[in-house]
Structure 1
């Protein structure tokens, strides 16, 4: 039976759980077992989802100590002989994963966004050249197959409840780095666009009046996001960018204002229920994906929407 190890990052537990869907797409109908590795954190959220939970506590391992964690994963692989090792593509894990690959003398496919099965076997698909093309990597070696997966692409669908075996690990050996956290500051971010149900997203076509998106979003109980063009201009943080070099989102409603919709942006839209595009160019790629296309000036659309919503709200208050 195949074995798949999923590393659970302490601050992004759900992203790790979502990789169960990645494992399912890799193995399909082939029998396999899922193993979760969690360090210095509560393993309760993993129960009934994984076949095996490997839990390790060691106060000398700090959250950012990739060297220690990579040694632990390497040690566990020698014990369990995993066929695949899956890691969420977070900032931390993008440093961790290459270290693990070097220790295991195996390849690493980073930022995977799709799993496919071709004539020659498993294929891992990822963006390349800043998202301008999609690269398909065929797996031919003996493994283990190791990949980082972009958060938000795969969603755990709550398959059958499993009888989870919890194995508490003891006295693991790893290199002592002396790394310690001196100070920690939280980023000032009010929301995660990956969790938003409604997104008002602006592109280059609304650059001059991007600040008008927020009043509309407030009225619709939505959040503001943007394409790369807006982020590159410094009008919004990269935390709110939709696309291959930003985040993958799955809102119920996505309103694209002045967005052309190049490949790198479209790849950031995953399982969106409803898309409304407002663009002076009805041939823009985003329009071909949209349920409704409004051909016209996005600024005018925003103003009319705000006016209409306020008017309806006033009528309800009377």
Structure 2
């Protein structure tokens, strides 16, 4: 039987109804091993809140209940709770491995369904925490609002393999900074509108309120924000009505005229079927 490995999966920091403005304090650490490869990982200082600790305990319970299994499924309740808040910032998935056993080789994969979008291999020499900031191996933003993600970790020693796979967590909205410092806020249209209608869903209010809160902090000297509604049929009356109700609702919250809040309608592209807002850099 494969020796016991203590593995913890954590949703970091507390859930909030509004996106945090605090910058992430991180260090860049390159993990190297016998067969190391892949991009550098960002490793923050160790920290844990109650939700993280509970998720650690849950992970250990799963392993204890399946001592003879080489494949362990781990729930991500704390992570799912954090990601359910409007416009969560990276890290979107955190993997924490407390080492008891040295692996000859290990492999960490972040997947969208069964498509691997981020991967790193190596050998583990100390307890580390791996974070996924939404980017792929080419450092492109791969996380898309409205998609679900999970990870798979495998370690081998003397030809025997141990596999840990998480449940999928939904990413209904997200926030990220591009290389110029602009903040992108994106939310899946499935969280805003009834299917094939322009009327808002009940949960749409929390996304609109959080969006208006971020937009109202932008000063004229910083520049203008950009709003884009991505739709499967951008020239349809449905797309126009959705853009109109968004403009009306947001302008009312921002106390500005609708004419000052144009929303561009474009075909669905790599960012998905979403409402996307770009805020100027601070």
Q: Normalising by structure 1, report the TM-score.
A: 0.24
The structure having more radius of gyration, on CA atoms, is 1
Which is richer in helix?
1
Which is richer in strand?
2
Q: Normalising by structure 2, report the TM-score.
A: 0.26
Higher relative contact order (CA 8 A, sep 6+): 2
